[in-house]
Amino acid sequence: MKPRTIVIAGSIAQKPGEAGHTWVFLQYLLGFARLGWDVLLLDRLEPAMCRDGSGRPCAAEASEGFAYLLATLKQFDLDTKFAVICDDGRRCLGPDYQTILDRVKNAELLLNFNGFLPEGEIRAAAKRRVYVDIDPGFAQMWKETGLHDAFAGHDDFVTIGLNIGRSDCPIPTCGLNWVTTVQPIVLQYWPVRAPMPGGPITAIGAWRGPNAPVDFRGKRYGLRVHEFRKFADLPLRTGKKFSFALDIDPSETADIDLLQRGGWTLIPPRPAAVNPDAYQRFIAESAGEFMVAKNMYVQSLCGWISDRSICYLASGRPVVAQDTGIEKYFPAGKGLLLFSNLQEAIDRIREMEADYAGQARQARRLAEEVFCSQRVLPELLGKLNL
């Protein structure tokens, strides 16, 4: 029998050199393929996004983003499993427009990550349009306050905010039935790495990111910057090596000085994430991860866990993570050590150091038992009645 198709709408070509973001979509593409599904990645490049390696405007097919997409997918034998929608939405790279339309019509599901694929003929052609929320809180609050409705035109709604819909989580459901899931990891591509007890504890990410804080029902829900400042002197307080591959605007001199005075070694994010292999090396050369969440996730206790953290766990790297309401879902202190304030962060770092080999083993075990794509994706399909 011909395998059934799942279409995944997400941005790889738009974000060349951001391999952490790339891996989010690779986990789904590779994971569903391992389960026997035919997969198709739908990406898009509008003219304003198309730049060559020198930053000059160019056609989509000559852009740095398209070259990055091709190289990435070829590495994983997915280079026949994509289409890039260009210009006015009717010119495509990869299959032609009509072929894409036919494949979407015949697919069982269109998984539209954060509403990446806008309203139009291709999205309308899908049998079932599933909104996949990987940035919980923002889109729900935008809709509730009338700023933007990302959910219109979708049939099902999936979120990695494990607490959305619970009475103790202030993120509104917007009257929608939310299916919760953790993000998957394809362990075949994430082998255990030799322990690095002498390596730095690392972090990687954007200081602010694309979204502004959201004011909702008398509270302001902010960004990573608003949480990370609380932990700026953690390296000095612990005497450990900490490195941060930080995407921060050079004009933010006060925050850069704050982190450096606190003992953080700041490194450019691009070398650590220029391609999927570099991202894996960065994690492998770390002793573990120190993960600070966006203030949105912390204040709302939405039950978010970072896709980066899952990659650390799979590599056998313990994760010291800020609690976002996930404690009830995972074994406490076994590879994933949670904190809510500076003193708890210090204590968790010491706890990790006290039994580093054991914590490294438990980190991998957690990835195998909870986040493995062979477990997560079938459960997700079951929740969607497939």
Mean pLDDT of the chain: 96
Q: Is the pLDDT of residue 195 over 90?
A: no
In the chain, beta strands by DSSP E: 5-9, 38-45, 82-86, 91-93, 109-113, 129-133, 156-159, 178-180, 201-206, 214-216, 219-221, 242-247, 264-267, 288-291, 319-322, 336-339
**Confidence tier at 345 by pLDDT (50, 70, 90):** very high
When pLDDT is cut at 50, 70 and 90, the band that residue 189 belongs to is very high
pTM: 0.97
Kindly calculate the radius of gyration of the chain based on its CA atoms and give it in whole angstroms. 21
**Which residues contact residue 96 at a Cβ distance below 8 angstroms, ignoring those fewer than 6 apart?**
none
Asked if pLDDT for residue 331 goes beyond 90, the answer is no
Per residue in 113-136, pLDDT (tens digit) is: 999 999 999 999 999 999 999 999
Average pLDDT over residues 235-242: 97
Beta pairing partners, 85: 44, 92
Tens of pLDDT, residues 66-110? 999 999 999 999 999 999 999 877 789 999 999 999 999 999 999
Q: What pLDDT sits at residue 379?
A: 98
**3-class DSSP assignment, residue 90:** coil
pLDDT band at 362 (very low <50, low <70, confident <90, very high): very high
Name the percent of the chain lying above pLDDT 90.
94
